[in-house]
């Protein structure tokens, strides 16, 4: 076992059943993610990357296998234990931001802290720090509808890191953004990794986004087919004809 690893996945299997049909999404997957590593999960639709992300983040339970994050084995935890664990240890970034539209940017970021035993003063300090980190100190009282897509995603990132989690998971964080905003968000993730030493696991279809990570895992049909350093990953757009087979 790598002493630097924060995520350890052993022989992970996940299947769903539809009637009598058994659909295997992940098959005997084993991997490790180091502390402070920026990892990209790639693969075609249905390859199981989002399922893997959900399992690592404690949003779902595996059919078989073990998942350890930090010093905890989360694969055996109950829903309530997982919820409490997520509050402290995992930050989430979504493709469509998923901010609460009735709350301001400040309140959206404050939301996870309400579940922690913090005073109002402590909460305020952490919220302001997180929003400052993402460059939105001047948009505290704006509602999501008053922010651009890129700004909303930055609020989403501030919400993900405000409770200072060990692990940040991002599901297609640039999938709904224009290329300029996407670049800014990726840059922000790199800053998070470098300055705060956060472990980031990002699901993406975008090779340019994956190229900003340190390591890329490529999944196909629920199996890990490539595990390569991002530096050795060369992005070549598929020819148009390829789309038509």
Partner 1 sequence: MGSWEKSFLQFLDSPVRLGLAVLSAILLLFFIIRLGSIYFFLRLIFLNLTRNLVRTGLTAVASFMLVFVVTLVWTILWFLNLVTSEKSKDFKAIVSERWQIPSQMPFAYQGALSEGAPAMEGDFKVDSSRDAMTWQFYGATIDPTKRTRESILFFFCMEPLKFTKMMDGMDEFTPKQVEQINHWCEEMVKDKRKVILGKDRLQAINKRVGERLKLTSFNYKDIDLEIEIIGEFPESRYNQSGIMNRDYLNDAVDAYNRKKPLKHPLTAKSLNLVWLRLPETPIFQQVEKQISESPSFTAPAVKIETAASGVATFLDAYRDLLWGLRWILAPFILATMALIIAVAISISVRERRKEIAVMKVIGFLPRQILFLVLGEAILVGALSGTASSLGTYFLINDYFGGIKFPIAFFPVFLIPGDALWWGTAIGVGTGLAGSLFPSLGACRIRVSEVFSRIS
106 binds partner 1 (CB under 8 A): no
Q: What angle do CA 123, 77, 86 make, to 5 degrees?
A: 20
User: Which residue lies nearer to partner 1 by CB, 10 or 205?
Assistant: 205
50 binds partner 1 (CB under 8 A): yes
User: Which residue lies nearer to partner 1 by CB, 103 or 230?
Assistant: 103
Select the residue interacting with partner 1 from 100, 225, 228, 231 (CB under 8 A). 100
Select the residue interacting with partner 1 from 15, 32, 59, 211 (CB under 8 A). 59
84 binds partner 1 (CB under 8 A): yes
190 binds partner 1 (CB under 8 A): no
34 binds partner 1 (CB under 8 A): no
The piece of 2-10, 96-104, 129-137, 230-238 that touches partner 1 (CB under 8 A) is 96-104
Residues 107-136 that bind partner 1 (CB under 8 A): 107, 110-112, 114-115, 119-120, 123
The piece of 94-102, 177-185, 212-220, 229-237 that touches partner 1 (CB under 8 A) is 94-102
**Can you say whether residue 88 is alpha, beta or left, with left for phi > 0 and alpha for psi between -120 and 50 degrees?**
alpha
Sequence-distant (≥ 6) Cβ neighbours of residue 119 within 8 angstroms: none
Task: Please give the C-alpha separations between residue 222 and each of 39, 157, 168, 219, in angstroms, as whole numbers.
Answer: 17, 28, 22, 6
Q: In the chain, what is the straight-line distance between the N-terminal and C-terminal CA atoms, in Å?
A: 42
Q: How far is the CB of 147 from partner 1 (least distance, A)?
A: 17
Residue 35 CB neighbours (<10 A): 16
159 binds partner 1 (CB under 8 A): yes
Please name the residue that has the structure tokens 């180091």. 34
60 binds partner 1 (CB under 8 A): yes
Residue 134 CB neighbours (<10 A): 25
Q: How far is CA 225 from the centre of its chain?
A: 21
Sketch the per residue contact string, 62 through 81, with partner 1: x for CB under 8 A, - otherwise.
Answer: -----------------xx-
CB 154 within 8 A of CB 188: yes
- Alpha carbons 100 and 79: distance in angstroms, whole number: 23
- Alpha carbons 66 and 107: distance in angstroms, whole number: 36
User: Which residue lies nearer to partner 1 by CB, 115 or 196?
Assistant: 115
Residue 195 CB neighbours (<10 A): 9
Q: How far is the CB of 205 from partner 1 (least distance, A)?
A: 11
Contacts with partner 1: how many residues (CB under 8 A)?
Answer: 34
Q: Which residues bind partner 1 (CB under 8 A)?
A: 50-51, 54, 57, 59-60, 79-80, 83-84, 86-88, 92, 94-96, 98, 100-103, 107, 110-112, 114-115, 119-120, 123, 159, 171-172
């Amino acid at each position: 076992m790598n002493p630097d690893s924060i995520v350890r996945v052993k022989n992970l299997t996940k299947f769903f059943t539809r009637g009598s049909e058994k659909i295997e999404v992940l098959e005997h997957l084993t991997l490790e993610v180091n502390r402070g590593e920026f990892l990209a999960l790639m693969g075609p639709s249905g390859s199981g990357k989002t399922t893997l992300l959900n399992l690592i983040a404690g949003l779902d339970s595996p059919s078989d296998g073990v998942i350890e994050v930090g010093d905890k084995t989360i694969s055996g935890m109950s829903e309530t234990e997982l919820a409490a664990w997520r509050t402290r240890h995992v930050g989430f970034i979504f493709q469509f931001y998923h901010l609460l539209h009735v709350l301001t940017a400040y309140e959206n970021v404050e939301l996870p802290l309400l579940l922690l035993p913090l005073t109002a003063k402590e909460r305020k300090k952490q919220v302001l720090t997180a929003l400052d980190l993402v460059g939105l100190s001047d948009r505290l009282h704006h509602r999501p509808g008053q922010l651009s897509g890129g700004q909303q995603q930055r609020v989403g990132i501030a919400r993900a890191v405000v409770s200072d989690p060990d692990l940040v998971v991002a599901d297609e964080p640039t999938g709904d953004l224009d290329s300029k905003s996407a670049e800014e968000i990726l840059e922000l993730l790199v800053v998070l990794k470098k300055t705060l030493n956060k472990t980031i696991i990002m699901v993406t279809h975008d090779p340019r986004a994956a190229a900003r990570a340190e390591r890329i895992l490529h999944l196909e049909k629920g199996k890990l087919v490539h595990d390569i350093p991002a530096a050795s990953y060369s992005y070549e757009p598929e020819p148009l004809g390829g789309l038509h087979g």
